[in-house]
């Protein structure tokens, strides 16, 4: 039956049987609208991740002397943000724990891009009021203004672990680094972002915070990490609505697996990009939602991650029992393999 014929049958039913026909017509109308919305949303994912470009970096002061502050900047995604922002014309402030690693990355950036680079050593696991006040003062003194903050510093579990077996130290450290440090660093840098806009050093300012699929979907055996990333979702959405009128764009960047020291994955694939590819996708689609069409101030920018996000959200629901059970089985298997590897290593010593 064609769609036209189907529609005509609904109209005929409504005429012959006014009450049941009207109810069926309403249900059908809602179904058509829902399907239309889903199609439009999926098309937006494809356009955002494959075609349309986001806000250009020049809006935030690239090539105009503005600074980009990058935390967790000495490896993986953070180091790639530093490289790609420097290549785009930003001066870059590297923030991480170890000064020797900061110096190595700074030297490489200066050699490759001939731009200005500064460093600030900060241990996110132990920093207190004194260290964050020092960071705020340091950032405020940067000549040229601050146009971008990248909140990349983070920590996960050493391996999937039942919550009851998670050590108190690991649990507290994850919350301290992923949540407390991220909030404190953002609070320290926001005045510099506001100042940059007021003094017209940049048209707008940008706060990027790294999220995770572990925060998108509840992830058993990574419960503390999963909760810490879910917190960043709510915080970023609230902060985005709060700061938008001031000209500061906020975006939580949701990623699935990326090759890195944290993920312990070395081989790339269609689903697992390198840090370089992931950061490139992020910076080309700023303020585009990608797979996160249902979430304000959020983006899933890498194409395969965006499609996976959309299908989980719309086919199953991110909080569905099916997703939680699948995640549990996957991480039980990862834990089993990790324990087997540790046992094998111990036996060979």
Q: Is 212 annotated as a binding residue?
A: yes
Task: Identify which of 279, 298, 302, 276 has the alpha carbon closest to the alpha carbon of residue 289.
Answer: 298
The distance of Cα 226 from the centroid of its chain, to the nearest Å, equals 13
Distant-in-sequence, close-in-space partners of 52: CB < 8 Å, separation ≥ 6: 285, 288
The residue from 113, 225, 256, 297 that is catalytic is 225
104 phi/psi in degrees, rounded to 5:
-65, -45
| 225 assigned to active site | yes
Residue 179's alpha-carbon distances to 30, 153, 185, 222, in angstroms, are 41, 10, 10, 16
Distant-in-sequence, close-in-space partners of 264: CB < 8 Å, separation ≥ 6: none
Rg for the chain, CA atoms, rounded: 23
CA dihedral of residues 317, 42, 296, 176 (deg, nearest 10): 60
Per the annotation, where are the binding residues for substrate? 212
Which residues are annotated as catalytic?
225
């Amino acid at each position: 039956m064609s769609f036209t014929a189907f529609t005509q049958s609904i109209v005929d039913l409504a005429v012959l049987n006014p009450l049941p026909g009207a109810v069926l017509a309403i249900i059908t109308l809602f179904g058509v609208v829902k399907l239309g919305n889903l199609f439009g949303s999926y098309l937006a994912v494809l356009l955002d991740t494959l075609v349309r470009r986001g806000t250009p970096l020049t809006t935030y002061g690239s090539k105009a002397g503005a600074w980009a502050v990058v935390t967790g900047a000495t490896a993986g995604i953070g180091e790639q943000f530093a490289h790609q922002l420097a290549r785009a014309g930003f001066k870059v402030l590297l923030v991480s724990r170890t000064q020797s690693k900061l110096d190595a990355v700074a030297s490489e950036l200066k050699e490759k891009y001939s731009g200005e680079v500064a460093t600030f050593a900060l241990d996110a696991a132990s920093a207190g009021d004194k260290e964050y006040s020092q960071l705020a003062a340091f950032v405020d003194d940067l000549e040229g203004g601050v146009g971008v903050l990248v909140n990349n510093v983070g920590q996960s579990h050493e391996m999937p672990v039942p919550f009851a077996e998670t050590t108190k130290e690991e649990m507290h450290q994850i919350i301290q680094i992923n949540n407390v440090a991220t909030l404190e660093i953002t609070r320290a840098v926001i005045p510099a972002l506001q100042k940059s806009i007021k003094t017209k050093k940049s048209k707008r300012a940008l706060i990027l915070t790294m999220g995770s699929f572990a925060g998108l979907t509840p992830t058993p055996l990574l419960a503390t990490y999963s909760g810490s990333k879910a917190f960043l979702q709510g915080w970023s959405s609230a902060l985005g609505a709060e700061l938008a009128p001031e000209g500061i764009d906020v975006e939580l960047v949701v990623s699935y697996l990326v090759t890195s020291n944290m993920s312990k994955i070395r081989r790339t694939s269609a689903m697992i990009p390198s840090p370089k590819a992931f950061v490139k996708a992020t910076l080309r689609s700023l303020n585009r939602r990608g797979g996160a069409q249902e979430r304000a101030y959020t983006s899933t920018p890498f194409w395969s991650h965006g499609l996976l996000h959309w299908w989980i959200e719309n086919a199953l629901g991110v909080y569905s029992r099916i997703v939680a059970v699948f995640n549990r089985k996957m991480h039980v298997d990862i834990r089993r393999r990790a324990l087997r590897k540790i046992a094998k290593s111990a036996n060979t010593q």
